[in-house]
Amino acid sequence: MNLENPTKENLAYILNDLGERMSVANRSLLDVEDYDLSKYEDIKFMYDMVVQKGRLSASEIQAFIQELRQVRK
């Protein structure tokens, strides 16, 4: 899958995968409708960091969730 293009489908994939990787219990935080495509690059950057890092500590997960809250509509 090519995630370089800022589409709703790619954004939905990224948010869903972030939820899985970070074991987010409150998935309403990751509703694609709550994010603007103009912030796609920021979200993709965070996603790439999570994928590259692999396993995250609890404090890192909290930090990423806080960053996601910052880019929501």
19-57 pLDDT, tens digit each: 999 888 888 889 999 999 999 999 999 999 999 998 899
Q: Kindly report the pTM of this predicted structure.
A: 0.89
pLDDT at residue 13, as a whole number:
97
Using the structure block, give the residue that is written with the tokens 């694609």. Answer: 32
pLDDT at residue 43, as a whole number:
95
Q: Which of 12-16, 20-24, 58-62 has the highest mean pLDDT?
A: 12-16
Q: What sign has the CA pseudo-torsion 68, 15, 47, 26?
A: positive
pLDDT at residue 1, as a whole number:
78
